[in-house]
Amino acid sequence: MSSTWIDAQGTGPGAGGERGNPRGSGLFSKSVGWFDVLFAALMAAAAGYVTHRYGQSINYYEMGILWAVVPVVSYMGYRWRSLQILVLVVAALSLLGVSSYAGDLQNGEKKFFLKYLLSSQSAILWMGVMFVCATVCYWLGLLGRSPTASFVGTALTWCAVGMGFTGMFVRWYESYLIGADVGHIPVSNLYEVFVLFSLITGLFYLFYEQVYKTRQLGAFVLLVVVGAVGFLAWYGVERQAYAIQPLVPALQSWWMKIHVPANFIGYGTFSLAAMVAFAYLLKVHANTSSMKALVPVGSLGVLMFIEPLVFHGKGISVYWGMYFGIGCVIVGGILLMRRRIAEALPPLETLDDLMYKSIAVGFAFFTVATILGALWAADAWGAYWQWDPKETWALVVWLNYAAWLHMRLVKGLRGNVAAYWALVGLLVTGFAFLGVNMFLSGLHSYGEL
């Protein structure tokens, strides 16, 4: 992680209302300790074991990615020690799940801990439940000024991220148990990438929560994660999307392993920035009339209600009706409680800085993902760019955030305009992510609903 991230000043209220710099708190390393060395050694040992055990079935590109992960994750763990604990816990749970199968997929229905905890479907379900519970706790902590409730929200978010990553790694192994020709990294369809989106958004939020020493934004950021979880619940039941399917020919490429994760780091951080932008606007308009305050709150309502309106006619209308009703209660409650909520939020300067850093990180990864996508297209279809709808909308997203960053860095754009722009950017990003798959056809139509 860059020094810019670590050097951010924590100006917002922390779990105990403290104010200060996150450095020196023990969460962010300043010098290499024995645990950092041990963690890096364990990462190298794990890569060595994979190379020894599966080296014959891994090509040179995949081997390069595997070993590149070792220094990257080791350095990230050195800079953010909480990540070290997460990696070790996920590794332990994933190995326990994999070993419990004993090479037989049927054990997923026979063994208690696999069936109800560590199989990919169970772990992902636990992830969704924990994200929902964490959101409730964050709101209780925000409205009730309860550090305990906010702490529980943070703990549940960590558990949700841990279970989600465990589910993804176990799902990867399960795909190979189905068949060697079926096995693939689980980032190949909408079900899997919605899980990935939830995990990346949640993980980046946890990082910034520690950087800025405030838990007050979890109530806002996790709303978009819960929206993704809501889609997963519907999509998994209606389309049985949790079932592992063989890859279509276009996705049978090692490019997918690096393009998709980089892409969704962009999507996740852009979404995080949008929800921080909403918190910014809510704080600005907290003491204005209800009609003026309705503008930012209504913007959130539009974002929340698009999902049930779009999917209402595609099955389980009662489900989306309930989703719409819950959304109305949330939006109405935020409007009525806006003054109390705004008082608990960090200063506007902190929100603006967090919004900027999230977009800057997302833009960097989205740029890399776009370049990787062009290289993948050249490998698969013989051309770097064909103005396919997915490619075109990816360019629109890139230009949108390039303009946002340009206006901020060159023109000093701040305040309401930047916040509204970031909030509307979520609509643009959402259409590029999901809308193109639903309403447009093209070379990427294999990802349609």
Q: Please measure the distance between the N-terminal and C-terminal CA atoms of the chain and give it in whole angstroms.
A: 36
Task: Give CA–CA dist 340/319, Å, rounded.
Answer: 31
Q: Which pLDDT score, from 0 to 100, does residue 160 have?
A: 98
Rounded Cα gap, residues 15 and 313, in angstroms:
43
> 342-354 pLDDT, tens per residue?
999 999 999 999 9
- Token pair for 283: 């704080």
- Token readout for 348 is 């506007």
pLDDT at 23 over 50: no
The full length of the chain comes to 449
- 38 inside domain: no
Residue 390 lies in a domain: yes
Report the greatest alpha carbon distance in the chain: 67
Counting other chains too, the contacts that 398-407 makes at CB distance below 8 Å and 24 or more residues apart are: 398/363, 398/366, 398/367, 398/370, 400/425, 400/428, 401/270, 401/359, 401/362, 401/363, 401/366, 401/425, 402/363, 404/359, 405/359, 405/360, 405/363
Distance CA 150, CA 156 (A): 10
Instruction: Let me know: does 67 contact 53? Beta carbons within 8 Å.
Output: no
Which residue, chain included where needed, has tokens 């379900």? 125
Query: Rounded CA gap, 51 and 56, in Å?
Result: 8
The residue ranges of DSSP E strands in 193-345, in sequence order, are none
| Mean predicted lDDT score pLDDT of the chain | 85
% the chain with pLDDT above 70: 84
Distances (CA, A) of 218 to 33, 285, 299: 31, 20, 19
Coil, helix or strand at residue 20: strand
Q: Higher confidence at residue 133 or residue 53? A: 133
Asked if residue 439 is part of any domain, the answer here is: yes
265 in any annotated domain: yes
Residue type at 195 in one-letter notation: V
Q: Is residue 70 part of a domain?
A: no
pLDDT tens string 204-228: 999 999 999 999 999 999 999 999 9
Three-class DSSP category at 437: helix
Distance CA 62, CA 222 (A): 33
pLDDT at residue 82 in the model = 94
Q: Which of 430, 420, 435 is nearest to 228 (CA)?
A: 430
Rg (CA), the chain: 22
In this predicted model, which residue has the larger pLDDT, 307 or 82?
82
Instruction: Provide the strand spans (E) within 8-154.
Output: none
Any domain includes 36: no
Q: Alpha carbon 286 to chain centroid distance?
A: 28
Instruction: Kindly state the DSSP code that residue 31 receives in the 8-state scheme.
Output: S
Is 18 part of a structural domain of the chain?
A: yes
Q: How many domains does the chain have?
A: 1
The conformational region for residue 86 under phi > 0 = left, psi -120 to 50 = alpha, else beta, is alpha
Structural domain boundaries, residue 378: 3-28+80-447
Mean pLDDT of 421-430: 91
State the average pLDDT over residues 18-26.
42
Banded pLDDT at 380 (limits 50, 70, 90): confident
pLDDT bucket at 406, cuts 50 / 70 / 90: very high
In a domain, residue 48? The reply is: no
pLDDT value at residue 448: 55
Contact between 229 and 198 (Cβ < 8 Å): yes
Q: Which residue has the higher pLDDT, 360 or 286?
A: 360
Res 213: pLDDT: 93
Give residue 382's region: left, alpha or beta (phi > 0; psi -120 to 50).
left
Chain centre distance of CA 193: 9
